[in-house]
Structures are given as C-alpha cells and as structure tokens.
Amino acid sequence: MNAMRRFLLYGQSQRLYSRGFSAASWDPLHVCVVGSGPAGFYTAEKMLKAHEGAEVDIIDRLPTPFGLVRSGVAPDHPETKIVVNQFSRVASHDRCSFFGNVSLGSSVSLSELRQAYDVVVLAYGSESDRSLGIPGEDLKGVYSARELVWWYNGHPDYRDMAPELCNSDTAVVLGQGNVALDIARILLRPISELETTDIADHALDSLRKSTIRNVYLVGRRGPVQAACTAKELREILGMKNLNVHINEADLATSPLDEEEMKNNRIRKRVYELLTKAAKSPLGDNSTGMRNLHFVFFRKPIKFISEDNSTVGSVHLEKTVLKEIGSSGKQVAVGTGEIEDIKCGLVLKSIGYKSLPIDGLPFDNDRGVVPNVKGRVLTSADQMDTKTEQGLYVVGWLKRGPTGIVGTNLYCAEETVASILEDVKNGKLIPASKPGRKGLQQILEEKGVKFVPFSGWERIDLKEKMAGQLKNKPREKITNWNDLLQVAIG
Amino acid sequence: MFSRISRLGCRILNETRVAQNSVTKRSISRSSDQNRFLNPMTRFFFSTDTNTSDKAQSDGNQSNETISVTFVDKDGEEKHIKVPIGMSMLEAAHENDIELEGACEGSLACSTCHVIVMDVDHYNKLGDPTDEENDMLDLAFGLTETSRLGCQVIAKPELDGLRLALPAATRNFAVDGFVPKPH
C-alpha cells in the first residue's frame, strides 16, 4: 500500500521529487520557513526532497508569495520571473503549505513559532535600506531604490508613494549596481515599451506624466568597481533613443585595477562594455532623445533644497582610489573638490538592509543574523559559538543583501545540510511539536485570516485576466483589502 | 567521391528530418538559430547513388537519432542517457530525472543549468557561446574553462559520448568577487 501510494504521489509531484536520500527518516519533521522569496522556496524544496517526513509551512506577511521575484525584479525582465513556476510546484507539494498574510511579530511571534515547529528557518530578507547619513536625506524627492522599485512593482505598502517625477528633468541615482540600472531603465524607457509589461498601473500613469529626461548614475569609485553585471549593462547601453555619456578620462586604470580585472571575469567584461560605450558617438539631442550619464569618482556629501522642502541638487565630492593596506582592495577617499548636479529626484541605490526582530540576535554592523552555515548563533559576540536550537537562517538575512535569484540555491543547500546534520546528530527531536496544527490554532485564536496557496492562485488568475484586457502579462492588484478580498473573499 | 558526398548529404537530410520532427515538440530551450540553419539544407542536397543512400538512410535512422551523454554529479555518480538530436541538455536532464536546475526554463536569464564539459574535444565542437550566454556564465558558480549552460548545448552527432559534470556548490556566493569580512 505504501509503495503504491508513493508511486502515485511520484506521478503527481514533479520529477525532482522522485529520489530521496537513503539517510532520510520517516519521522515527521515540522518545518516553518518565514518568507516566501527564492531563499524560502529553495529551502522548502530541498528540505522536502531530502527528508521524506518533513512537513514544510511557508509563511509570508504579504498575501502574495515569491518575495522579490514579484516585487523586486524589473517589469521589463519577465524571463527572470519564470522561476515562480518551479516555486509554485513546491507550494503545491503534498507536504508543503503556504500561509500568506501571516506576519512574524504581529500575527505570530518567533517564540510561538519555535514552540510549534521542530525547525524554524528565517528567510525574510532585507526590507530596509542602508542610509548615507548625510544632511538633506529627509528632503522630499529623496528616496531609496527599494521604495521606488516596490512602487513600480505594485507592492501594496507603496502604492501611495507618489514619487516626485514632475518637478525637474533630472534624476540622480546613487550607486551603479543592477538595481540602479533597473531604476534608470524604468525612468528612461519610452512609455510604449512599459505598457506591455506587468508594471503597476499607478506607476505607468505617473511615468506617462514624468518630466525626467536625464539620469545620472553616480559611483564613488571607478568603472572597474561598478557593481552592475554585463547583461544589464549591455541592455541599457543598447536602448534606443538614449545617449550614454561616459567621460573617457574616467576609464584610465591603475595597476591595482588591472589586477582586479585579471581575477574577475565579471569586472573585466563590464569595464570593456563601458569603454566601448564611451567611444561611441552621441546622437543629437532631438525630442524623444534621453540621456544617461555614468559619473565616477564622486561621493554625495549633502542634498540641497531651494525651498527647504524638496531636493534641488546634490553636492558631490570628487574621490580618488586608495588601497587598504596591501589587500588589493581600493576604497574611495575624498579630495575636497566639490561638484553639483541639479535634480528633482534622488534615488539611493546603495544597498538593502535587514530588520532585526525581538528575540533574535542581530549583527548591526553587517545587518545580518549571526550564524554559522545557517545555524543561528545565540549572540553577535564573535567569541560566543553557541547556537540556537532549531533556529536557522537563509538568504539575504544570512549572507547580506547580495547576489541573484540563483545565489539562494547554494545558500539553501548549506542551511538544509546543517538542519539534516542536526537531525542526524539528535540535536533536534522530530515530531515533538504540533507543527501546522499549532500554527493554525494560534492564527485562529488571534483572528488572523491567512491566505492559502489557492488564495494566491485566485489573485494570480484575476491579475492575468485583467492584464489580457490591456495587453499586459498581468495587471497587479495593489491594494491590501482588494488582495485579501480576491484571495479569501 | 560522389558516394561519399551523397552519404554526407543523406546524413544531413536525416538530421534535418529528425530535427524537424523534434522541433515540433521542442520547448523554448531550443535555439531559433538552429531552425533557420537546418531548413535551407533540405533544399540543397540530393543523392546520386540511390543504393548507397538507401542503406545510409536506414542506418541513419537508427544511429543518428540519439547520442549518448553521461552526466556526472558532484559526488561522482554517473548517469548514462540517450539524447535525441536537437534536444538541449537541460531538457534531456529533466526527462531523465537528473538534478539540473533550470530556473528560467531556458531563456538565458539565469545560470542554474551550468554544466562542465569534461572533454576539451567535445567542448571545442560546440559553437562559441553568444554574448548573452557569456553574460549568464559570468554569474555561474564554479565556472571553468569548459563551462557552458545546459540549455544552450544542443545534441548533435559530433557530441556522441559527451560527458557533462554538474558543478559542486561552492562556499563563495558572491556575484561580484566581493570577499566577505571574516566573522
């Protein structure tokens, strides 16, 4: 009977579940993954595959799953979102359940989760930002990249952001990573090209009225250190009706730069692309022509406002590169020479940051939960090696906010390996906790209306159908109440 | 001389015929460049020696339809499979339950189907990677001199006996060469 059932389940679930590891135990293991982005889903997938008794519940504070795949990947990058097909198969697995609209902290506390589950894996990423800590950061028109990205991707927390797109023709983006390029692209793309993407409606409306025609991408260091990667750079350099301005003088390299490129294929190819772009002739400034400027060796020191309310320009200090000891790594050092860029919009794209929560040790410097191979340490004190039983971390919360979707594959592998090792060594006692039933009880007692995966499927269907009417892959629902109404009505 | 040409011609005809059949059930992982390349060939070739061509044809249908490919996982375990001409290695892996990730399902938007070609001769028989593939290979973990994306390696007769290694996960997760401060 057991063999027959397994055979039928094999047919149902996708191919990747056909093999179990010989060391797997059949005792149920109750696992809760907090966060349903790539880190959470890859962890759930590997857990389910490696341990045939594992029951995995994935919780997310949003009614919609998939984390930054839905709210971070740019609307004009639909191929990067294809991975949700794989994640959907995981969520539909027999031993997996999704609980949307369940927030760690308000719907359920960390200690409640640890009492209900044998294993709790925190995968809630980085929902805050690094700050510059310079004057004027609070002015209107100065936002973090994360906020603008959430806004144009229809995140329900930011639908009413109303960024200043109409008070000047220039935006300054601080940072030259892929997120900075995403923002520049969305601000500079012809509207017709955005109209057929899954960009949020309110963003499309604002961008239609936007007066932004020039974007400056400002980096503290040089082209060799620019954090973007070749695909994204190639894409933006190839945009029609876009003049790309790069100062050839900025392309001069030092021996340390050459060494950096020799050891790093990504840096080398990015540098080559920038060099090629710098040498290309510019088109005339006819109507419809937009401008992208790569500005190197400048760090922001102040935001200036004419009216004491909205930003009017950025004060930048010229920098030079200096080596740290003999590490080969170079940092930007100010020279005292100041420059101004007039602008009405500033986007800080200098890095995300994780949020600490009550009862969780946190490394404020690095903005991560202190851990060893995904096992959460009891304290951030480097001398203390004691770990928290049954508590693990994966993704940006573990490594810091770097990498791509696929980076989480290996990260999840490491964390799951730690969990399995702990199970094998008796550090966790499986089936001693109520698991899913425990969570459902807590949610019922608190009156939390969670969204099951089928609820997301209803949202998904409605968005796709609404999108069809407008020649978009989907028309995102961006209002909290509407999302819940459609999901669990 | 003529018979050699006609045998070659028949082999190409067979490949295009088989490939065209496989094309209809192909998924997005199939490179569209291949389609454009294969179709014109059928108009150009004809055989003059019918005896040899018939024999070549019947032989061709059996031996040229699939190639042997071996996948070696990170623990050294080998799996031998047969891959129809025209199918990508990613698709072949999935059809044979080999654990090759394919997050973007063959759209050149990720590097999760990264494979290492174990024989340099076979690697050299592959066409050069496009800029788009190189952009994705930049981000692959455990990149080697003979690394390729599995969704871009398409089975053809010269690759018979192909051995592909699945890369071991590395501890260095950084995309941009950033070395994390020791903690």
Give me the pLDDT at residue B116, please.
Answer: 96
Chain B (102-121) residues lying within 8 Å, Cβ to Cβ, of chain A = 103-105, 107-112
pLDDT tens for each residue of A360-389: 999 998 899 999 999 999 988 878 889 999
B49 has a pLDDT exceeding 50: no
Tell me what ipTM this predicted complex has: 0.86
Contact A403 B174 (CB under 8 A): yes
**What are the backbone angles phi and psi of residue A144, rounded to the nearest 5°?**
-90, 155
Contacts with B97 from chain A: Cβ below 8 Å: 15-16, 18-19
B7 has a pLDDT exceeding 60: no
Contact A406 B103 (CB under 8 A): yes
Q: Which residue of B has its CA nearest to A73?
A: B109
Which pLDDT band, with edges at 50, 70 and 90, does A86 fall under? very high
pLDDT tens for each residue of A166-215: 999 999 999 999 999 999 999 999 999 999 999 999 999 999 999 999 99
Q: Is the dihedral of CA A255, A256, A259, A265 positive or negative?
A: negative
Q: Is B97 on the interface with A (CB under 8 A)?
A: yes
Domain A3-18+25-127+356-451 in CATH: superfamily? NAD(P)-binding Rossmann-like Domain (3.40.50.720)
Q: Closest Cα partner for A32 from A409, A421, A454, A434? A: A434
How does DSSP assign A265-309, residue by residue? HHHHHHHHHHHHHHHSPPPP--TT-EEEEEE-SEEEEEEE-SSSS
Tokens 């007039």 belong to which residue? Answer: A342
> To the nearest whole angstrom, how far is the Cα of B97 from the nearest Cα of chain A?
6
Q: What is the CB neighbour count within 10 angstroms for residue B128?
A: 7
Contact A406 B139 (CB under 8 A): yes
Contact A404 B94 (CB under 8 A): no
pLDDT greater at residue A301 or residue B22 = A301
Gyration radius (Cα) of chain A, Å: 24
- By the 10 Å C-beta count (0-12 exposed, 13-18 middle, 19+ buried), B160 is classed as middle
- Which CATH architecture best describes the domain A128-352? 3-Layer(bba) Sandwich (3.50)
- Which CATH architecture best describes the domain B66-165? Roll (3.10)
pLDDT tens for each residue of A265-295: 999 999 999 999 999 888 877 878 999 999 9
Q: Is B28 on the interface with A (CB under 8 A)?
A: no
Chains A, B: CB contacts within 8 A come to: 96
Contact B135 A229 (CB under 8 A): yes
Give me the pLDDT at residue A382, please.
Answer: 76
Contact A410 B173 (CB under 8 A): yes
Give me the pLDDT at residue A5, please.
Answer: 54
User: From CA A311, how far away is CA A139, in angstroms rounded?
Assistant: 6
pLDDT greater at residue B23 or residue A186 = A186
Q: Is the dihedral of CA A76, A82, A84, A88 positive or negative?
A: positive
Give me the pLDDT at residue A441, please.
Answer: 97
B182 has a pLDDT exceeding 70: no
Q: Is A436 a known ligand-binding residue?
A: no
Contact B101 A406 (CB under 8 A): yes
A297 has a pLDDT exceeding 50: yes
Output the average pLDDT for chain B: 73
Say how far residue A472 (Cα) sits from the centre of its chain: 23
Among B28, B98, B130, B135, which would you mutate to test the A interface (most chain A Cβ atoms within 10 Å of its Cβ)?
B135
Alpha-helical regions (H) of A447-479: 453-469
Give me the pLDDT at residue B128, please.
Answer: 95
Q: Which residue of B has its CA nearest to A381?
A: B183
Half-sphere exposure (CA, 13 Å, Cβ side) for A361?
A: 20
A238 has a pLDDT exceeding 60: yes
Q: Where are the domains of chain A?
A: 3-18+25-127+356-451, 128-352
- Length of chain A equals 489
Q: What is the CB neighbour count within 10 angstroms for residue B157?
A: 16
pLDDT tens for each residue of A119-157: 999 999 999 999 999 999 999 999 999 999 999 999 999
B34 has a pLDDT exceeding 60: no
Which pLDDT band, with edges at 50, 70 and 90, does B6 fall under? low
Q: At what angle do helices A178-188 and A145-152 cross, to 10 degrees?
A: 50
- Is-contact B116 B164, C-beta < 8 A? yes
Give me the pLDDT at residue A356, please.
Answer: 94
Say how far residue A282 (Cα) sits from the centre of its chain: 34
CA dihedral of B163, B168, B173, B178, whole degrees rounded to 10: -70
Q: Closest Cα partner for A369 from A394, A347, A344? A: A394
Pairing mode of beta strands A119-122, A29-34:
parallel
pLDDT tens for each residue of A31-45: 999 999 999 999 999
Question: Average pLDDT, stretch B32-49?
Answer: 41
- By the 10 Å C-beta count (0-12 exposed, 13-18 middle, 19+ buried), A55 is classed as buried
Which pLDDT band, with edges at 50, 70 and 90, does B75 fall under? confident
Q: If DSSP codes are grouped into helix, strand and coil, which group holds residue B20?
A: helix
User: From CA A363, how far away is CA A351, in angstroms rounded?
Assistant: 16
Give me the pLDDT at residue B175, please.
Answer: 41
Residue A198: beta bridge partners? none
pLDDT tens for each residue of A306-361: 999 999 999 999 999 999 998 889 999 999 999 999 999 999 999 999 999 988 99
pLDDT tens for each residue of B125-161: 999 999 999 999 999 988 999 999 999 999 999 999 9
